[in-house]
Structure 1
Amino acid sequence: MTTLKDNWSSDYQRTNNAGVPDPNGSIYWDFNALLGLFFPAVTGIMAGSNRSASLKDTQRSIPVGTLHATFSTTVMYLLSVFLFGALATREELLTDRLLCAAVAWPAPAVIYTGIILSTLGAALQSLTGAPRLLAAIANDDILPVLNYFKAYDGSEPHVATLFTTFICISCVIIGNLDLITPTITMFFLLCYAGVNLSCFLLDLLDAPSWRPRWKLHHWSLSLIGALLCIVIMFMISWTFTVVSLALASLIYYYVSLKGKAGDWGDGFKSAYFQLALRSLRSMGANQVHPKNWYPIPLIFCRPWGKLPENVPCHPKLADFANCMKKKGRGMSIFVSIIDGDYHECAEDAKTACRQLSTYIDYKRCEGVAEIIVAPSMANGFRSIVQTMGLGNLKPNIIVMRYPEIWRIENLTQIPSTFVSIINDCIIANKAVVIVKGLDEWPNEYQRQYGTIDLYWIVRDGGLMLLLSQLLLTKDSFESCKIQVFCIAEEDTEAEELKTDVKKFLYDLRMQAEVIVVTMKSWEAHADGRGGSKKDDTEVYKSAQGRIRTYLSQLQEAAQREGKPLMEGGKQVVVNEQKVDKFLYTMLKLNATILKYSRMAAVVLVSLPPPPLNHPAYCYMEYMDLLVENIPRILIVRGYRRDVVTIFT
Structure 2
Amino acid sequence: MPQSVAKKFGTFKGVYTPSLLTILGVIMYLRMGWVVGHAGLLQSLIIVTISSLITFVTALSISATATNMKVEGGGAYYMISRSLGVEIGAAVGIPLFLAQALGISFYVVGFAESVISIFPDLSVPMVAVACLIALTALAYTSADLALKVQFFVLAAILLSLASFFWGTMNPPPLEEQVTQLISQESFWTVFAVFFPAVTGILSGVAMSGDLKDPSHSLPLGTIMAVLTGYVIYMTIPICLYYVVPESVLKSDLMVMAKISKVSQLFFIGIWGATLSSALGGLLGAPRTLQALAKDSVVFKQLSKTYGVDENPRTATLVSFIIALLGILLGDLNAIAPVLSMFYLTSYGLLNFSAGIEGLIASPSWRPKFKPHWALSMLGAFLCSATMFMINPGATFLAAASVFLVYYYMQTRNMVARWEDMRRGILMLLARYSIYKLGKTKPNAKSWRPNFLVLSGAPTNRWYLIEFAHHITSGKGFLTVASVLQKNESNIKRRLSFSESIQDYLKKRRVSALVEVSLADDVNDGLHALVQTYGMGALAPNTILLGETEKEENFRKYAEFIQFSYFNQKNVVMFREGINPIRERHRMIHVWWGRERQNAGLMLALAYMLQLSPDWKGAELYLNTIVKSEAEKTAAEKSLKNMLANGRLDVKLRIIVQEDWKESLSSTITKTSQDADLVFIGMRPPDEKESYEDYCNYYQSILVLTQDLPATAITVAAQDIDFAGIFV
Among candidates 707, 717, 721, match of residue 629 of structure 1: 707
1:124 aligned onto 2:279:
yes
Counterpart for residue 220 of structure 2: 64
Residue 136 of structure 1 and its aligned partner are, at CA, apart by: 2.1
Specify every segment of 5 or more residues in structure 2 that has no aligned partner in the other structure, as ranges: 1-24, 39-175, 645-649
TM-score by length of 1: 0.71
Deviation at 1:191, TM superposition (A): 2.0
What amino acid is aligned across from residue 193 of structure 1 in structure 2? G
Q: Distance in 2 between matches of 1:183 and 1:202?
A: 28
Partner of 2:157: none
State yes or no: 1:509 paired with 2:643.
yes
Once the two structures are TM-superposed, the CA of residue 386 in structure 1 deviates from its matched residue by: 1.0
Counterparts of 1:228 and 1:602, CA distance in 2: 54
Per the TM alignment, residue 632 of structure 1 is displaced from its structure 2 partner at its CA by 3.3
Partner of 1:290: 444
Matches of 2:479 and 2:693 in 1, distance apart? 31
Mapped to 1, the partners of 2:609 and 2:334 lie a distance apart of 57
> How much has 1:238 moved relative to structure 2?
3.9
Is 1:448 the counterpart of 2:586 in the alignment?
Answer: yes
Match of 1:426 in 2: 565
**CA offset at residue 627 of structure 1?**
3.6
Q: Which residue, 127, 130, 134 being the options, matches 2:289?
A: 134
Q: Give structure 1 stretches of 5+ with no counterpart.
A: 489-493, 522-584
Q: How far apart are residue 47 of structure 1 and its match?
A: 0.9
The structural deviation recorded for 1:192 is 1.9
CA-CA distance at 1:436 after TM superposition: 1.7
- Report the alpha carbon displacement of residue 38 of structure 1 after superposing the two structures with TM: 7.8
CA distance in 2, matches of 1:9, 1:108: 16
The RMSD of aligned alpha carbons is 4.3
Task: Write the deviation string for residues 426-463 of structure 1: whole angstroms up to 9, x where unpaired.
Answer: 332222211222584525x42335x7251617564433
- CA distances 1:282-317 after superposition (whole Å, capped 9, x unpaired): 333765222332222222223xxxx7xxx5463433
Relative distance call for 1:507 and 1:374 in structure 2 (3 A) is farther
Displacement of 1:385 after TM fit?
A: 0.5
Alignment partner, residue 625 of structure 2: 485
Say yes or no: does 1:2 pair with 2:142.
no
Relative distance call for 1:280 and 1:441 in structure 2 (3 A) is farther
Separation of aligned partners in 2, 1:228 and 1:464: 49
Q: For 1:27 and 1:331, how far apart are their aligned partners in 2?
A: 54
Bigger helix fraction: 2
Aligned counterparts of 1:219 and 1:97: Cα–Cα separation in 2? 41
Q: Is the 8 A contact 1:196 1:223 kept in 2?
A: yes
Between structure 1 and structure 2, the one with the greater Rg is: 1
Q: Secondary structure at the match of 1:199?
A: helix
CA contact (8 A) 1:9 1:28 kept: no
Moved more, 271-280 or 182-191: 271-280
1:265 aligns with 2:423: no
Superposition deviation, residue 506 in structure 1: 3.8
Q: How does 1:50-129 map to 2 (within 5 A)?
A: 50-85=206-241, 88-105=244-261, 107-129=262-284
Counterpart Cα distance in 2 of 1:484 and 1:241: 57
Query: The residue matched to 1:508 in structure 2 has which SS?
Result: helix
Instruction: Decide which of 444, 447, 468 is 1:321's aligned counterpart.
Output: 468
Find the residue that maps to 1:245 and give its secondary structure: helix
Separation in 2, partners of 1:598, 1:178: 69
Matches within 5 A, 1:272-283: 273-283=427-437
Aligned partner of residue 509 in structure 1, secondary structure: helix
Q: Which residue among 333, 347, 353 is the counterpart of 1:192?
A: 347
d(CA) in 2 for partners of 1:453, 1:185: 58
1:318–1:363 Cα contact (<8 Å) kept: no
Distance 1:102 1:448, change over 3 A: closer
Q: Does 1:645 align with 2:716?
A: no
| Alpha-carbon distance between aligned partners in 2 of 1:219 and 1:590, rounded to the nearest angstrom | 66
Given the superposition, is the C-alpha separation of residues 36 and 20 from structure 1 closer, same or farther in structure 2, using an over 3 Å criterion? same
CA deviations 1:140-196 (Å, max 9, x no partner) are: 45xx34545334798432332221111222223334353454343333222222222
SS in 1 for 2:722: coil
Displacement after TM superposition at 1:281 (Å): 3.2
Q: Does structure 1 conserve the Cα–Cα contact (< 8 Å) formed by 2:527 and 2:560? A: yes
Residue of structure 1 equivalent to 2:482 = 336
Following the alignment from structure 1 to structure 2, what is the Cα–Cα distance between the partners of residues 513 and 30?
Answer: 65
Judged with a 3 Å threshold, the aligned counterparts in structure 2 of structure 1 residues 65 and 597 are, in CA distance, closer, same or farther, namely closer
Report the Cα distance in structure 2 between the residues aligned to 1:11 and 1:62, rounded to whole angstroms: 31
Distance 1:286 1:93 in 2: 62
User: SS at the partner of 1:113?
Assistant: helix
Q: Deviations over 1:98-135 (max 9, x none)?
A: 33433444x43333333334433333332222212222
Once residues 517 and 479 of structure 1 are traced to their aligned partners in structure 2, the CA distance between those partners, rounded to angstroms, is 24
1:401 Cα deviation after fit: 1.9
1:637 alignment partner AA: V
In structure 2, do the counterparts of structure 1 residues 64 and 286 end up closer, same or farther at CA, with 3 Å as the change threshold? Answer: closer
Which structure has more relative contact order (CA 8 Å, sep 6+)? It is: 2
Contact 2:545 / 2:574 at 8 angstroms: preserved in 1? yes
In the aligned structure 1, how far is the partner of 2:670 from the partner of 2:271? 96
CA distance in 2, matches of 1:519, 1:382: 39
2:123 maps to which residue?
Answer: none
Q: 1:508·1:646 contact (CA, 8 Å) conserved in 2?
A: no
Alignment correspondent of 2:574: 435
TM-score, with length taken from structure 2: 0.64
Matches within 5 A, 1:210-221: 210-215=365-370, 217-221=371-375
* Alpha carbons 1:171, 1:180 under 8 Å: kept: no
2:333 aligned counterpart, secondary structure: helix
Alpha-carbon distance in 2 for matches of 1:294, 1:230: 34
CA contact (8 A) 2:469 2:510 kept: yes
